[in-house]
Amino acid sequence: MKVGILREGKTPPDKRVPLTPQQCVEVQQTFPHVSIVVQPSPIRSYKDEEYSASGIALKEDLSDCDVLLGVKEVRIGDFLPGKIYLFFSHTIKKQAYNRKLLQTVLAKNIQLVDYEVLTDKEGFRIIGFGRFAGLVGAYNGFRAFGLKYDLFNLKPAHECEDLEEMLQHLDEVKLPPIKIALTGDGRVAHGVLEILNHMNIMRVSPEAYLNDEEPEQAIYVQLLPGNYAKRIDGEPFDLLHFFNNPTMYENSFHPFTQATDMLIASAYWDPKSPVLFTADEMKNDNFRIAVISDITCDIEGSIPSTKRAATIADPFYDYNPQSGELEEAFSNPNNVSVQAVDNLPCELPKDASLDFGRNLIEKVFPSLFGDDTDGIIQRASITKDGALTEKFSYLQDFADGK
């Protein structure tokens, strides 16, 4: 079986790779019937020379490959008919900008396996870049805090060589006794927790957090849906019920808006569930949150100040709570300063790729290159044999242009 690693074609260019040079070697050793070639690229964080030095062939024409691996969306004109493609297609929510991509994949009889829907038997996602979104999102939050109060000036994450360097910069930070709230407990939140724990910030319970108005040292609290949403009918909170009936809930985050200096938003937000707080609440004198690292980055979603996504080159902006307008980052101490980069893992492309490739090798390739007994590849195939698979048949009207 021949596997090709695609050159990323999106703008701005994405430096991540699905497999590092060393991992390509490992794959060929672990699965002896698999051989890997790499399409040359000037932008990858792992250079062409590193692949060839590892004995992996560089090849422009991938038409003799069976499987093609990318990271982000493939350019429409680059699709090769009849192949198996793995990449993040961003089509499952009927994203209009990728309608043509889905139509092309169908017309070219491609089996599209989307990383986003690769799940284990229990239905849990098995691969993604969430951890790195959490690591970089938390770092960017502290960077914003340092810049806002002129306390420290952290080097941008994307200028760091790797995660190790980024963590070293955090070691130099002397944090005042601030209060930090983190939402969520998924992959992103765990990346955030790695940073908070690396900085030896003290974790406290939600009750202790609310009671301790002026702590002696920086503290943080991790908030789960039961801490920030409650049932409108007064019945006790039930997580599964919340996921399935989000409209039956209202937000209960209010006390934390008055007790938090920095919010790191890392919980998935269902648009049908309550927002964390409103623009009106942000106008109140007792609204204490001064810095928001919104890793979820839902535009006008659960956090009203996230009015647009920011970029890696220009990651921060201020939100003026009185006018509801965006202003230049750190331009007024009364503003709320926001980090809202929507492609955070790209700031540490080498480490993020290493992590991703490891998961591919351990959790996906045994099924892709062997027997798919657990149905991992089957469940994540959006298209096959020129049609949508049953699970994704709800995309038919979208694919038909309706």
Ligand X SMILES: NC(=O)c1ccc[n+]([C@@H]2O[C@H](COP(=O)([O-])OP(=O)(O)OC[C@H]3O[C@@H](n4cnc5c(N)ncnc54)[C@H](O)[C@@H]3O)[C@@H](O)[C@H]2O)c1
Among 267, 292, 303, 352, binds ligand X (CB under 6 A): 267
Pick from 20, 296, 306, 339 the residue near ligand X by CB under 6 A. 296
**CA distance between the termini of the chain:** 38
85 marked as binding residue:
no
User: Is 72 an active-site residue?
Assistant: yes
Q: What angle do CA 210, 211, 216 make, to 5 degrees?
A: 100
Write down the residue that tokens 């870049």 correspond to: 129
Q: Does 70 bind ligand X (CB under 6 A)?
A: no
Are 139 and 395 in contact by the 8 Å Cβ rule? The answer is no
**Out of 186, 226, 324, 366, the residue judged to bind ligand X by CB under 6 A:** 186
Nearer to ligand X, 187 or 254 (CB): 187
Q: What binding mask, one character per residue, do residues 130-169 give for ligand X by CB under 6 A, x or -?
A: x--x------------------------------------
Member of 107, 213, 243, 387 binding ligand X (CB under 6 A): 243
Element (H, E) at 7: none
Helix/strand/coil for 294: strand
CB of 269 to ligand X, least distance (A): 6
- For residue 206, give Cα distances in angstroms to 67, 132, 209, 274, 288: 48, 26, 5, 20, 16
Question: Quick check: 305 binds ligand X (CB under 6 A)?
Answer: no
Q: Please name the residues in contact with 61: beta carbons below 8 A apart, sequence gap of 6 or more.
A: none
Our CB check for ligand X shows the closer of 298 and 318 to be 298
- Among the listed ranges 105-113, 145-153, 181-189, 330-338, the one in contact with ligand X (CB under 6 A) is 181-189
- Binding of residue 184 to ligand X (CB under 6 A): yes
Cβ(216)–Cβ(256) below 8 Å: no
Spatial CB neighbours of 201, under 8 Å, sequence gap ≥ 6: 175, 180, 217, 218, 219, 220
Q: How far is the CB of 133 from ligand X (least distance, A)?
A: 3
Is the CB of 237 or the CB of 330 nearer to ligand X? 237
Options 40-48, 102-110, 267-275, 277-285: segment touching ligand X (CB under 6 A): 267-275
CA-based nearest residue to 72, from 126, 14, 31: 14
299 alpha-carbon distance from chain centroid: 15
Task: Select the span of 6-14, 140-148, 260-268, 381-389 touching ligand X (CB under 6 A).
Answer: 260-268
Backbone φ, ψ for residue 93 (5° rounding):
-100, 20
Spot the catalytic one: 2, 47, 59, 72.
72
Q: In terms of Cα–Cα distance, which of 197, 202, 157 is closest to 178?
A: 202
With beta carbons less than 8 A apart as the criterion, state whether 332 and 318 touch: yes
Contact stretch for ligand X (CB under 6 A) within 52-60, 143-151, 212-220, 261-269: 261-269
Residue nearest to ligand X (CB): 186
User: Has 46 been labeled as part of a binding site?
Assistant: no
Based on the residue annotation, tell me whether 198 is a catalytic residue of this protein: no
Using CB under 6 A as the binding rule, whether residue 187 contacts ligand X is answered as: yes
Q: Are strands 291-294 and 219-223 parallel, antiparallel or unpaired?
A: unpaired
Using CB under 6 A as the binding rule, whether residue 297 contacts ligand X is answered as yes
* Binding-site positions for NAD(+): 247, 268
Indicate which residues carry an active-site annotation: 72, 90
By the criterion CB under 6 A, which residues form the site for ligand X? Answer: 128-130, 133, 184-189, 224-225, 243, 266-268, 270, 295-297, 341-344
